[in-house]
Structures are given as structure tokens and as C-alpha cells.
């Protein structure tokens, strides 16, 4: 929240305990930018993709998801429902 921009090819991955529509919901209140939001289930399949508009109250995925990827709006074209994704382990 309160972010004015997001660097290209960077985003935020939110991880839930299990697949859920409610737990994977997001809000865009206090957001100054639109975001590409990609919902991914526990089988690492994209189940929904949306351009989340700033200040919109809530977005819920069409299908239950365990992961919510929030990325720059320009990334929206890179994901389609049904795509499979892979997460590489990062060490901080």
C-alpha cells in the first residue's frame, strides 16, 4: 500500500496455508497504482488473472488459490489461466 511505482519484473508473492477464494482475496484500498494480480493454486496452476484497479474495494479469484502474485500491470500479458508456474527458491 501507498506505493507509487513498482520496478519492472518485480512483485510480491503472498502465500496462504491452503487453496481458498476468501483467503486469497485482496483489496486495492490506499493503492496508487494498478497491479497485475495472478492467482495460483497449490498445484502451481494459474486459476485467475486480473488487472486490479487502484482503490477498488476487493478482488476474489474465480477459483481457490494458495498463492497471489502482485506485479506491475505490464506483466498481465505474461500469464493466462491454465498456465503452470515454477517457483525458484531464493536465499536471502
DSSP codes, 59-75: B--SS-EEEEEEEEGGG
> What pLDDT was estimated at residue 53?
96
Report the number of distinct structural domains present in the chain: 1
Q: Residue 10: its pLDDT value, please?
A: 82
Q: Domain for residue 69, yes or no?
A: yes
Predicted pLDDT at 88: 85
Residue span of the structural domain in which 36 resides: 12-75
pLDDT at 16: 96
| Confidence (pTM) | 0.89
Mean pLDDT in consecutive groups of 10 residues from the start of the chain, 92 residues? 69 95 95 95 98 95 97 95 90 64
**DSSP letter assigned to residue 73:** G
Q: Is 55 part of a structural domain of the chain?
A: yes
Amino acid at each position: 500500500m501507498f506505493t507509487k511505482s513498482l520496478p519492472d519484473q518485480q512483485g510480491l508473492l503472498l502465500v496462504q496455508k491452503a487453496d481458498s477464494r476468501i483467503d486469497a482475496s485482496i483489496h486495492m484500498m490506499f493503492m496508487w497504482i494498478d497491479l497485475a494480480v495472478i492467482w495460483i493454486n497449490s498445484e502451481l496452476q494459474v486459476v485467475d488473472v486480473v488487472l486490479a484497479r487502484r482503490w477498488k474495494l476487493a478482488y476474489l479469484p474465480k477459483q481457490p488459490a494458495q498463492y497471489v502474485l502482485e506485479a506491475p500491470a505490464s506483466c498481465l500479458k505474461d500469464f493466462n489461466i491454465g498456465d503452470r508456474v515454477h517457483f525458484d527458491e531464493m536465499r536471502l
